[in-house]
Amino acid sequence: MISKELLEILRCPMDPSRTRLRLADDHLVCERCALCFRIKDGFPVLVVEEAILPAGCDSLNQLPCQRESRTP
Ligand SMILES: [Zn+2]
């Protein structure tokens, strides 16, 4: 199980400076880009290539946070 303390220091690799992750069942979900990270053997797998994309996104480039940073 992920402890509260650990959860507070974890960040989404897509935007490490600003994001928070929240625990949802057996996943961690980024509050910003909604990427869903699996928890394997009690450890979150914070690898974007292994994360599950939110509905409506086919690739990492389509994540809301990535689009934001490209539009002036
Ligand atoms: Zn994110």
Instruction: Return mean pLDDT, the chain.
Output: 89
Q: How far is the CA of 20 from the centre of ligand 1 (A)?
A: 8
| Mean pLDDT, range 33-52, rounded to an integer | 94
pLDDT at 12: 93
Ligand 1 (single-atom ion) residues, CB below 5 Å:
12, 14, 19, 30, 32-33
pLDDT at 72: 57
Q: How far is the CA of 34 from the centre of ligand 1 (A)?
A: 6
Q: How far is the CA of 24 from the centre of ligand 1 (A)?
A: 14
Q: Which of 36 and 69 is assigned the larger pLDDT? A: 36
pLDDT digits (tens, 9 = 90+) for 48-64: 999 999 999 999 998 87
pLDDT at 64: 78
Instruction: Give Cα separations from 16 to 7, 9, 65 (angstroms).
Output: 13, 10, 11
Domains (ranges, CATH) in the chain? 4-70 (2.20.25)
pLDDT at 59: 92
